[in-house]
A and B are shown apart, each in its own frame.
Chain A
């Protein structure tokens, strides 16, 4: 390959002369250093990962919602009402005992919804510990919540100062702080888990069916449906744009160029969403849309499953009320 340009006259008949630079072999690629530790994603990769996560989560939810569990067979309206009542009870609970009961009932519902128990616990507690645990931790100390000391963390000499600030004689974890912090964490875990069980075991249109049965206006339901469905269309547009960018540009795409790409992508998305709105409106008119929307479900709902869910909910609510 390297000699083609150097010996143009060796072949008989008409000859094709390659420019010298094209006949030269390319320099070997620089050896890549093994990447140690966490890989830092650039903005293109981060966008692609985020869009992929949304699609993955939706596909997973669709798969769980198709399983044949007790929660999946319950009437959507009753199921939503039950879960909302339990989330509200968690919000109104003002001591640890009712919250523990509500969280326990949520774990029971996880089993009834045929969810993978271990991965569900791992996912929800990871979210709770990361987003709540670290935030609540300083709030358990006497610096934020004064009260009866349980564990002394730091002890200072009397009248110690940090610059202009006077330091307290000791910093401790207080009983009030610990109880309050645990309550926030348990309440967050219960609410996040209940919301996750509800949305994972209910198909999108069943959720809307249930919300409509509870009084959600049809127009709002339609806006939610359209928005939800077209999120994935726009996600595909965004993903394609970023893939195209990744395929055509060598090297790290950072700084001003990258920011201009982001601006162009946002503009393209907005433009596409406007065009989609016009197309959807025309399609609605073409199909004789008169402002009425209905949602239909082909799944046979079980009266027994609905009654059992209702009974469990009532018992748990009663228990939470008794516990305070």
Chain B
């Protein structure tokens, strides 16, 4: 998962480093509020722990042994901010002193494994184990956090690598960086992570959290689901990053299967089915094609339209969830 130098363009690395910076700034500020002088050794020791954790091999069911990346475990044990900083410092030391991951690619590696993975792990752990002091749900939360966090990081890595031949080609078609497009890079990354690395990470995260739960459960309750008033921030962070990435959809060629407009159907089939012709024009949506009609002719208006569509979508889903919560969570008073 550690991307070496040479596969990503410096421009991609710079953008990803800039995307990671606000999260890391927030993390540093959040931790320094706890105790100014105590935060330095805490983050340092957590990073040293994260580094050594990646060396602890454990037997896995296929007869070999493997080690965890540790992003989920760091987020569960240290909280989202501590987890992000610990993973980032670990990645910096790995790149600078052990040649694991490139120096220019550090921005991308920090984005994938230092920010996205711990944030996703913490959100998952919160969502599944929320409101539960019992062990089973927390354990399931930890296992899912391990599985999802490493797969999300792998997906981001696949997308970053896959974008290179689309964005950076010489005039004669020579790929300047990674030659594999998204449709090859993403499946290649995801197959290995969904089937092998993900289950291993889930197993190890679950084992360690289960063990700690048995011998010293108070270690887990410091960053337990629901603790602290800033629990929504990692979720906001993940959603924010996804919103920023939505214009990538503009690069994709063609129309997904089954989502053809009547004109495209006509081109494909030679005719438009009667039902489609009757129903297709009745409702075109508030933001047709994820664009804002008023911005259609403005330079960059399509990208802005994508971002606005993503924000409106999130707002609508949140509103629906709030209304449903009000209805379903209302105490029922029997007469």
Give chain A's interface residues, CB within 8 Å of chain B.
42-44, 46-47, 50-51, 54, 57-58, 61, 84, 87-88, 90-92, 94-95, 127, 131-132, 136, 139-140, 144-147, 175-177, 179-181, 183-185, 187-188, 191-192, 195-196, 199, 204, 207, 219, 222-228, 230-231, 233-235, 237-238, 253-255, 258-267, 269-271, 273-274, 276-278, 280-281, 284-285, 289, 291
Contact code string B1-42 (vs A, CB < 8 Å = 1, else 0):
000111101100100000000000000000000001110111
Contact A223 B49 (CB under 8 A): no
The listed residue (B45, B59, B99) touching A195 by CB distance below 8 A is B99
The listed residue (B5, B179, B203) touching A136 by CB distance below 8 A is B179
Contact B7 A280 (CB under 8 A): no
Contact B103 A223 (CB under 8 A): no
Additional pairs, 16, CB under 8 Å, beyond known A47-B56, A145-B174: A88-B10, A131-B4, A136-B179, A180-B179, A188-B6, A191-B6, A192-B4, A199-B99, A219-B40, A227-B43, A227-B45, A263-B207, A266-B73, A266-B204, A281-B40, A285-B37
**Is B128 close to A, CB under 8 A?**
no
**Is B247 close to A, CB under 8 A?**
no
Give chain B's interface residues, CB within 8 Å of chain A.
4-7, 9-10, 13, 36-38, 40-49, 51-53, 55-60, 63, 65, 73, 77, 89-90, 92-93, 95-99, 102-104, 165, 170, 172-181, 184, 203-204, 207-208, 210-212, 215-216, 219
Residues in A neighbouring B36, C-beta threshold 8 A: 291
Residues in A neighbouring B89, C-beta threshold 8 A: 223-224, 227
Q: Point out which of B52, B90, B99, B172 has the most chain A C-beta atoms below 10 A from its C-beta.
A: B52
The listed residue (B51, B55, B59) touching A254 by CB distance below 8 A is B59
The listed residue (B45, B60, B172, B208) touching A266 by CB distance below 8 A is B208
Q: Point out which of A136, A195, A271, A278 has the most chain B C-beta atoms below 10 A from its C-beta.
A: A195
Smallest Cβ-Cβ distance to A238: which chain B residue = B52
How many angstroms between the C-alpha atoms of A38 and B235 in the bound complex?
Answer: 47
Smallest Cβ-Cβ distance to A93: which chain B residue = B176
How many angstroms between the C-alpha atoms of A94 and B11 in the bound complex?
Answer: 13
Contact B56 A262 (CB under 8 A): yes
Given contacts A91-B10, A192-B5, contact A46 B174 (CB under 8 A): no
Q: Point out which of B59, B92, B172 has the most chain A C-beta atoms below 10 A from its C-beta.
A: B59
Residues in B neighbouring A259, C-beta threshold 8 A: 58-60, 203, 207
Q: How many Å from the CB of A142 to the closest CB on chain B?
A: 11
Residues in A neighbouring B165, C-beta threshold 8 A: 145
Q: How many Å from the CB of B182 to the closest CB on chain A?
A: 12
Q: List 23 A-B contacts (CB under 8 A).
A: A47-B55, A54-B98, A132-B4, A139-B180, A144-B179, A145-B173, A147-B173, A180-B174, A192-B102, A222-B40, A223-B43, A224-B44, A224-B92, A227-B47, A227-B48, A231-B52, A231-B93, A254-B59, A262-B57, A266-B208, A269-B53, A281-B38, A284-B37
Contact B52 A269 (CB under 8 A): yes
Contact B5 A87 (CB under 8 A): yes
Residues in B neighbouring A136, C-beta threshold 8 A: 179
The listed residue (A185, A191, A199, A284) touching B104 by CB distance below 8 A is A191
Contact B177 A184 (CB under 8 A): yes
Smallest Cβ-Cβ distance to B173: which chain A residue = A176
How many angstroms between the C-alpha atoms of A43 and B207 in the bound complex?
Answer: 16
Residues in A neighbouring B212, C-beta threshold 8 A: 267, 270
Residues in A neighbouring B216, C-beta threshold 8 A: 267, 271
How many angstroms between the C-alpha atoms of A258 and B203 in the bound complex?
Answer: 13
The binding surface of chain A is classed by DSSP as helix
Smallest Cβ-Cβ distance to B176: which chain A residue = A94
Contact B175 A199 (CB under 8 A): no
Contact B179 A226 (CB under 8 A): no
Contact B45 A207 (CB under 8 A): no
Smallest Cβ-Cβ distance to A178: which chain B residue = B174
Residues in A neighbouring B13, C-beta threshold 8 A: 91
Residues in A neighbouring B208, C-beta threshold 8 A: 262-263, 266-267
Contact B65 A187 (CB under 8 A): no
How many angstroms between the C-alpha atoms of A130 and B40 in the bound complex?
Answer: 38
How many angstroms between the C-alpha atoms of A90 and B9 in the bound complex?
Answer: 10
Contact B180 A144 (CB under 8 A): yes
The listed residue (A43, A176, A196) touching B174 by CB distance below 8 A is A176
Given contacts A191-B102, A224-B92, contact A281 B41 (CB under 8 A): yes
Q: Point out which of B38, B53, B58, B102 has the most chain A C-beta atoms below 10 A from its C-beta.
A: B58
Residues in A neighbouring B46, C-beta threshold 8 A: 273, 277
Residues in A neighbouring B175, C-beta threshold 8 A: 139, 145, 176-177, 180
How many angstroms between the C-alpha atoms of A177 and B174 in the bound complex?
Answer: 6
Contact B44 A91 (CB under 8 A): no
Contact B52 A235 (CB under 8 A): yes
Residues in B neighbouring A260, C-beta threshold 8 A: 207, 211
Q: How many Å from the CB of B5 to the closest CB on chain A?
A: 3
Residues in A neighbouring B215, C-beta threshold 8 A: 267
How many angstroms between the C-alpha atoms of A233 and B41 in the bound complex?
Answer: 14
Contact B104 A266 (CB under 8 A): no
Q: How many Å from the CB of B38 to the closest CB on chain A?
A: 5
Residues in B neighbouring A235, C-beta threshold 8 A: 52, 55
Contact B174 A51 (CB under 8 A): no
Contact B41 A277 (CB under 8 A): yes
Contact A42 B65 (CB under 8 A): yes
The 7 closest A-B pairs by CB, nearest first: A262-B58, A226-B44, A191-B5, A188-B6, A139-B179, A43-B65, A263-B211
Q: Point out which of B6, B10, B37 has the most chain A C-beta atoms below 10 A from its C-beta.
A: B6
Residues in B neighbouring A281, C-beta threshold 8 A: 37-38, 40-42
Contact A280 B41 (CB under 8 A): yes
Residues in A neighbouring B57, C-beta threshold 8 A: 43-44, 46-47, 50, 262
Contact A207 B173 (CB under 8 A): no
Residues in B neighbouring A61, C-beta threshold 8 A: 97
